[in-house]
Chain A
Amino acid sequence: MREHAVFTNRWLPWVFLAPSLAVLTVFLYYPLWQAVVLSFHRANLLLGTRRFVGWGNYEAIFTGPLSARYHQVMVQSFAFSMLVVVIGLSISVVLATLAAQPLRGARVYRLLLIWPFALSPAVAATIMLFLFNPEIGGVNQVLNALFGIKPRWLDTPQLAFALVVVTAVWKNLGYNVVFYLAALQNVPKELSEAAAIDGASGFQRFFRITLPMLSPMTFFLVFTNLTYSFFDSYGLIDVLTRGGPIGPAPFDAVGITRTMVYQVANDGFTGSGNTGLAAAFGNIVLAIVALITFAQFRFGGRRVQYGDH
């Protein structure tokens, strides 16, 4: 590592760092600690009540009368995140690779693939909500005219779940393509051309050269996409399905598109809910995220080195 430190002033770095450290301490670390404290209390936002209950809230989540809800929400969150990451990144990497070729009109393709970057979860969901409205939406009007069918997008559990996944993938596409395109600029052309001369087909070059070369970026995108689908999907779900519909057994304890963050917000802010319970569930979510990140760095770390070969 090169030595960069050029200034030796002792207090100046702290002056530069102070605003960031203050904001992070007050608005992230302290609330995180408060979440731990709160999770051992039964508290209500509107009543202003707080009572120490020990592990009561955690017990409620794992074994209480409503525990089935929490278990279901965890499973659903994972399924949702996995699908969004796997489907989203697969499509993005293929499209980015195609659009990175020296094709005629490649710039136009790139622009047309990147712009969904500007979509927010709420706006993407708003448009999809209208498009897939079973009675007045455009999709069903076309399907009805052509095939005489009107799929119930918003209350058939499988369709509603799929719709939420598709919307999330669509919303993320621009972001993923942008980053893959940036990474593809660094993939040496010679490598690919050499392989082409050796007679490697497009598919072979994609799997043997492009994909491994992109693995550091994939590693980064898996992280950001996971974070996105775990946490930022609230707006999307709130607008599109409000957490519903109820699923088939064993997914019938709560709405099938409720994610963990949706459940936290629901418990914390519905008025009659126990905010301590919400905090406890939030802490469990955080622990899971920490685990995933840790595992990913261990597993992903190796992949990145492979990519650097």
Chain B
Amino acid sequence: MKRTIIVLLSALLLGLTQAQTTIEFWYAFTDAPRQGWINDRIDEFNAELAAQNSPYRVEGSNKGSYRETLEAAVLATRQGTPPHLVQLFEVGSQLAIDTGIFRAIDGFGGGIDTSDYIEPVLNYYTIDGRVYSIPFNSSSPILYGNETLLERAGLSTERLPETFGELLAACEQAEAAGVTEACITFPLHTWFFEQWVAQQGEPLVNNGNGRDARATEVLLTSDAALRVGQFMKDLADGGHYSYTGRFEDWAGSEAIFGNQQSLYFITSTADAGNIIRGAAENGFDVATGLLPIPDGVTRNGVVIGGASVWMVDGPPEVELEVARDFVLYMTNTENMVSWHKLTGYYPVRVSSVEALEAEGWFDENPEFTIAFTQLTETLTNQATGGALLGTFGDTRTIVEEALQKIYQGSATVEEAMDEAKRQADAVLAEYNANF
């Protein structure tokens, strides 16, 4: 009975909207500001379509986290109702390709003009010489400092520590001055670990960071990886580090910094807007600096984090063309400027950066300058291109557990990383056995 009603209703709805075909765009933002921004772009694009009497209409829907969005897209495709566009996080790239439901954007129609994209961004999404997806939201981690507390500790607010050594020294000084309970907070998240390994120019996985061939080993016992583990140990030994205790708790660390319970904070540039607004509410100013790196190594730069938009193989070509046009509209020069201003994500286009410079944005908002310096000075190589790995999710949990062991002091750096490598490799072997 209920079934019949549903069937009748959908038939009725179908009849009413028959004139229009929906282009589905699935994204992974659950917060109001970013959802609102996307909906505004969709409305604008639809108005344009309507003006041209186009039978198409773009519809966006939020599917939860990136991982859930990927799952939803794959399952919907298998169930015969694929979306057209899916926003996926960068570390899901290998898994996305392996599912076989997506088609590389550069092979579609006339391809896309990639000349305007910032190099490190393009570097990430170019896999095997092909551009798979359209870059959208990109970010990297930077160091934030609480100016009020820095001054009280007699530390510079102009130049924040740029190496682990400098950071630890600053922490000692702040501790001696008795300024605050903890020196630094950042979410216990493998993203930072990945960044620190890449900063040293070292790959995270074998086979050219998974870009020459499918990775078979996660290099968690490399010197680069051990240096990061040692940093965790130094922070723990000095009592400098604070977090809520849960893995990947971005909000938790932001609350610690916002409540002035830590001097420094490492997190994504994408949160710059929120952090600065939050700090203003709590009555302090925020200084920003480059992501500190291990002492005595060349700064290779950051791996671009964030997400891109993928096109599903399945819907008719004409629909996919509209879909592609929509993404290119959403990520055009002007829109990437407003996206950056709203969120702090990098505008992924060179022309957007130029537009921002021309209007003097960086002079008014110096905190973003550092983020751009960090990005533009990034060397293009396989390390900063980012690792490709089908089991990124599991590997992240394993590394987080290893870092937690080091933090708790229940294992030495070597023991913890050895065990993590053993587990990560086993999980990877299990995954690779699917092929």
Contact = CB atoms under 8 A, between A and B. Distances in A.
**Do A and B actually bind?**
yes
B271 interface: no
Contact of A133 (B252, B394, B422): B252
25 contacts: A42-B430, A42-B434, A46-B99, A47-B98, A48-B74, A51-B433, A51-B434, A133-B244, A134-B244, A136-B256, A154-B244, A154-B246, A155-B245, A155-B407, A155-B408, A242-B246, A245-B404, A245-B408, A249-B411, A252-B405, A255-B401, A271-B71, A272-B431, A273-B394, A277-B430
Nearest to A152: B245
A51 B432 CA distance: 13
A241 B408 CA distance: 16
Nearest to B405: A246
A272 B71 contact: no
B263 to A, nearest CB: 14
Contact of B245 (A160, A252, A273): A160
Contacts of B434: 42, 44, 47, 49, 51
A64 B426 contact: yes
Interface string A272-305: 1110010000000000000000000000000000
A270 B393 CA distance: 7
Nearest to B403: A246
Contact of A271 (B95, B100, B425, B435): B95
The 6 closest A-B pairs by CB, nearest first: A154-B245, A155-B245, A65-B426, A272-B391, A246-B401, A49-B434
Contacts of A66: 423, 426-427
B245 A269 contact: no
A135 B401 contact: no
A47 B98 CA distance: 7
A254 interface: yes
Interface in B222-259: 242-247, 252, 255-256, 259
Interface in B405-435: 405, 407-408, 410-411, 419, 422-423, 425-427, 430-431, 433-435
Contacts of A153: 245
Interface of A: 42, 44-49, 51, 60, 64-66, 69, 133-136, 150, 152-157, 160, 241-242, 244-249, 252-255, 269-274, 277
The interface centre, meaning the residue of A42, A152, A245, A249 with most chain B CB atoms within 10 A of its CB, is A245
B267 interface: no
Contacts of B95: 46, 271-272
Secondary structure dominating the interface of A: loop
A133 B243 CA distance: 10
A42 B427 CA distance: 13
Given A48-B78, A136-B255, A272-B431, A244 B404 contact: yes
Contact of A135 (B99, B259, B411): B259
Given A42-B430, A135-B261, A245-B408, 7 more contacts: A45-B75, A133-B244, A135-B242, A136-B256, A245-B245, A248-B410, A272-B393
A45 B408 contact: no
A26 to B, nearest CB: 16
B70 interface: yes
A249 B411 CA distance: 9
B205 to A, nearest CB: 14
A152 B407 CA distance: 12
B408 A246 contact: yes
B433 to A, nearest CB: 6
B67 A274 contact: no
B203 interface: no
A75 to B, nearest CB: 17
The interface centre, meaning the residue of B256, B425, B431 with most chain A CB atoms within 10 A of its CB, is B431
Interface in B341-376: none
A65 B422 contact: yes
A270 B397 CA distance: 11
A254 B401 contact: yes
Contacts of A273: 394
A277 B429 CA distance: 14
A279 to B, nearest CB: 14
Nearest to B431: A272
B405 to A, nearest CB: 5
B230 to A, nearest CB: 18
Given A66-B426, A66-B427, A134 B245 contact: yes
Contacts of B243: 155
Contacts of A44: 431, 434
B82 interface: no
Contacts of B256: 135-136
Nearest to B73: A46
Contact of A46 (B70, B408, B427): B70
B404 to A, nearest CB: 5
A274 B430 contact: yes
A73 to B, nearest CB: 13
A85 B54 CA distance: 63
A107 to B, nearest CB: 41
A144 B405 CA distance: 25
B135 interface: no
A22 to B, nearest CB: 15
Nearest to B98: A47
Given A135-B255, A136-B255, A270-B394, A252 B67 contact: no
A271 B70 contact: yes
Contacts of A150: 181
Contacts of A274: 430-431
A67 to B, nearest CB: 10
A135 B252 contact: yes
Contact of A244 (B246, B261, B423, B431): B246
Contact of B404 (A42, A46, A155): A155
B390 interface: yes
Contacts of B435: 49
A54 to B, nearest CB: 13
The interface centre, meaning the residue of A66, A153, A156, A160 with most chain B CB atoms within 10 A of its CB, is A66
B394 A241 contact: no
A293 B434 CA distance: 37
A272 B390 contact: yes
B256 to A, nearest CB: 5
Nearest to B257: A135
Contacts of A47: 98-100, 434
A47 B419 CA distance: 28
